[in-house]
Structure 1
Amino acid sequence: MGKTGRAAAAYRAYRQVSRPGSAGLMDRIRALPRMIGGALRGEYRDLSKGKLALMGLGVLYIVSPFDVVPDFLPLIGVADDFGAFLWLMGSLLGESDRYLDWERGQVPGHDRSHDKGRGRRHVEGEVV
């Protein structure tokens, strides 16, 4: 991914989170464990196990000391990690937003036309 591609990916991620009516960044981050668990259990089918595996490989690539381009090369070595990070963040932010929409749709009797999409969820008998 070139410099322009990374900048475009960062801008898309920013626009996605700051879009009016969209779930906020912290709501999306808090939804990640639920989304991953739901995908692994087969409850949330919009995130395939293949894409989940790619995201896991992305995390391993970022934290791994072994890279395609060694980090000791000035700028170039860090650029591949940064590109992987941007892809991973863009994917996680997009998927978690879709998950929150799916999750809100799972609540019986919930009218989504009045939902402002702030990542709030209703659990019977609890204040969340």
Structure 2
Amino acid sequence: MVGTLRRRMAWTALLRVFKPGTPGLGKRIAAIPRMIAATMRGQYDGKSRLAMTAVAGMYIVSPVDVVPEAVFLLLGLVDDAAVVAWLAGAILDETERFLEWERQQAMTIPGQSVPGFPSDGRGRPA
């Protein structure tokens, strides 16, 4: 059930990126290196999601992916489109989750500000 919910959230994240009040595409892209670093340090709990997006990215660029295109033509391209759409949605969903995590961290650690978010001068989000 949780896996299905996460997949559904990844697909709908593509649509939410343009919703007012959510982080913009620039903030999400800028958060990716921080998200990877925080995950590798063990501060952020995104290891499995980061691994799945890496696997999807490797599938898209791997020579193994050429086989479906060579054999099934259109069906092979549809499979690529589905993986790319899922990958984009998963990245957008995870960066939104990470930015919220960063915001929560900034609220619990006085004097820390979140990159890309305005602060009130005392390190707290405005």
Q: In 2, Cα distance between the equivalents of 1:96 and 1:54?
A: 14
Q: Which amino acid aligns with 1:79?
A: V
Within the alignment, does 1:106 sit opposite 2:105 as a pair?
Answer: yes
Q: In 1, Cα distance between the equivalents of 2:62 and 2:96?
A: 28
Contact conserved, 1:71 with 1:77, CA < 8 A, in 2?
Answer: yes
Q: How does 1:53-64 map to 2 (within 5 A)?
A: 53-64=51-62
Q: In 2, Cα distance between the equivalents of 1:124 and 1:71?
A: 55
Aligned twin of 1:76: 75
Deviations 1:75-126 (A, max 9, x none): 211111111111111111001001111112222448xxxxxxxx5265989x
Aligned length: 105
TM-score w.r.t. length of structure 1:
0.70
Can you give the 5+ residue segments of structure 1 that lack an aligned partner in the other structure?
A: 1-8, 111-118
Q: Which has the higher helix share?
A: 2
Q: Find the residue that maps to 2:29 and give its secondary structure.
A: helix
Q: In 2, Cα distance between the equivalents of 1:15 and 1:102?
A: 21
Deviations 1:24-73 (A, max 9, x none): 0111011111111111110112x1x2222111110100111212852233
Q: In 2, Cα distance between the equivalents of 1:27 and 1:34?
A: 11
Offset at 1:13? 3.1
TM-score w.r.t. length of structure 2:
0.71
Contact conserved, 1:62 with 1:84, CA < 8 A, in 2?
Answer: yes
Identity %: 43
Coordinate RMSD, CA, aligned = 2.5
